[in-house]
Amino acid sequence: MIINILAGGPEELLPDLTAYQEDDAIWVGVDRGVFHLINRNITPAKAFGDFDSVNKEELSIIEHQVAGIKKYKPEKDETDLELALNWALAQKPKTVRLFGATGGRLDHLLANVQLLLSPIKENNPANVYMIDQKNIVFIKEPGHYTIEKMASKKYISFVPLTLDVTDLTLEGFKFPLKNRHIYLGSTLCISNELIDVYGTFSFSKGILIVIRSND
């Protein structure tokens, strides 16, 4: 199962959503993201939010077209996107994609990046990706991983999310590494590139943010 969640970030940063409309994909809207989906002729199965970013007319359209609406008060402990992601992870999907989660307020962006930790905290095997026009972002725990070259996302960066990441090894990259210890705040692994169709990365301790991007 794939669950696609569209939050209310700037529309100009959204990728082409038609590329993610697999037959088994379930769409979920978050706050103004629900309205963005409807405008793209995608009816979400669920909608989450306090809906403070839509007007009365837009809310009426949402209420008429979406059956599974979860409304919340603005004063709450979780963000709207966090509530939607928690629901999505409880469905035990293989993949969750977050759209409309970048741009706009920096505090929202940083909070959304940290939401990528949710499967790790809950010991949930789902893969969660944050996607916009220029970036695909995901988080990995220690292990050994294979990564495939993407013409549309030339650059690959590895950013520590913990104080340090131990034994980082990159193979098949323009700038390879062997058992390197990198620290929070390091820019050593920014803007690397794959030289082969496939490459690998591995590390033994810490948590890494992996960012695939294009100019």
Indicate the helix (H) or strand (E) that contains 110. helix 106-115
**Of 92, 113, 133, the domain-final residue:** 133
To the nearest whole number, what is the mean pLDDT of the chain?
Answer: 93
Q: Which long-range contacts (CB under 8 A, 24 or more apart) does 104-111 make?
A: 104/9, 104/10, 108/9, 108/79, 111/79, 111/82
Q: pLDDT band at 36, cuts 50/70/90?
A: very high
Average pLDDT over residues 145-160: 96
Is the pLDDT at 77 greater than 90? The verdict is no
Whether the pLDDT of residue 201 is over 90: the answer is yes
Q: Are residues 144 and 89 located together in one domain of the fold?
A: no
Same domain, 114 and 149: no
| Mean pLDDT for the stretch of residues 23-34 | 92
Same domain, 73 and 179: no
pLDDT number for residue 52: 83
With a cut of 80, say whether residue 154 has pLDDT above it.
yes
User: Which of 98, 133, 168 delimits the end of a domain?
Assistant: 133
Tokens encoding 9: 């970030």
User: Domain check: are 49 and 86 in the same one?
Assistant: yes
Q: Average pLDDT in the 141-155 region?
A: 96
- Read out DSSP for 43-109? --SEEEE--TTS-HHHHHHHHHH-SEEEE--SS-SS-HHHHHHHHHHHT--SEEEEES-SSS-HHHH
d(CA 136, CA 157): 11
User: Do 198 and 164 meet the contact criterion of CB atoms below 8 Å apart?
Assistant: no
Same domain, 161 and 125: no
Q: What is the pLDDT of residue 206?
A: 97
> Domain check: are 37 and 119 in the same one?
yes
Q: Are 197 and 148 in contact (CB under 8 A)?
A: yes
Percent above pLDDT 70 for the chain: 100
- Average pLDDT, stretch 121-136? 95
Q: What is the pTM of this model?
A: 0.93
Per-residue pLDDT band for 88 (boundaries 50, 70, 90) equals very high
In a shared domain, residues 6 and 70: yes
Amino acid at 35: F
Provide the residue range defining the domain that includes 66: 2-133
Pair 54, 80 in one domain: yes
CATH at residue 68: 3.40.50.10240
pLDDT, position 57:
84
- For residues 40 and 76, membership in a common domain is answered with yes
Which domain-ending residue is among 65, 100, 133? 133
Task: Please check whether residues 123 and 147 belong to one and the same domain.
Answer: no
pLDDT score of 58: 81
159-187: average pLDDT: 96
**Number of structural domains the chain divides into:** 2
Q: Identify whether residues 115 and 179 lie together within a single domain.
A: no
Q: Do 41 and 119 lie in a common domain?
A: yes
Residue 24 is predicted with a pLDDT of 87
Between strands 2-6 and 95-99, the pairing is parallel
pLDDT surpassing 90 at residue 47: yes
